[in-house]
């Protein structure tokens, strides 16, 4: 999947989340509730792994049988990861990890217009 296609897909999913799940933003639910809903929208739009596509996981912390790590940081657990489960990357190739999404919320400092879509 091309970077621009992925960006459009993610923005469309965020827009769906904002439109369909306003309650989550208006009632200060936990970040994990928001990321799990976003992952559902992403999963609906991604080509499934069984068809040569991708796995979409929330709070996924495994790299084959070992804990997932990022360069020198051990035991990472991304909010959302688009990847191919159970396949390890070699040193030169990152093709089994498409995107990691980290979500941070601070309801006191965010001013979101829940009725206006995000522009691509």
The answer to whether residue 114 sits within a structural domain is no
The answer to whether residue 47 sits within a structural domain is yes
Number of domains in the chain: 1
Give the model's pLDDT for residue 120.
45
The answer to whether residue 119 sits within a structural domain is no
The answer to whether residue 26 sits within a structural domain is yes
* Domain housing 79: 3-101
Q: What pTM was estimated for this model as a whole?
A: 0.76
The answer to whether residue 65 sits within a structural domain is yes
The answer to whether residue 87 sits within a structural domain is yes
pLDDT along the chain (120 residues), means of 10: 90 95 91 95 87 86 60 70 75 71 71 56
Closest CA to 56 of 104, 101, 1, 89: 101
């Amino acid at each position: 999947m091309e970077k621009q296609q992925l960006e459009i897909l993610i923005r469309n999913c965020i827009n769906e989340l904002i439109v369909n799940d306003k309650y989550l933003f208006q009632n200060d639910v936990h970040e994990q509730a928001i990321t799990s809903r976003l992952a559902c929208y992403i999963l609906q739009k991604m080509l499934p792994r069984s068809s040569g596509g991708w796995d979409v996981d929330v709070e996924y912390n495994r790299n084959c049988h070992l804990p997932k790590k990022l360069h020198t940081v051990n035991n990472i657990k991304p909010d959302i990861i688009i990847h191919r489960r159970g396949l390890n990357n070699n040193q030169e190739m990152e093709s089994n990890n498409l995107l990691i999404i980290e979500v941070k919320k601070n309801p006191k400092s965010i001013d979101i217009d829940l009725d206006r879509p995000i522009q691509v």
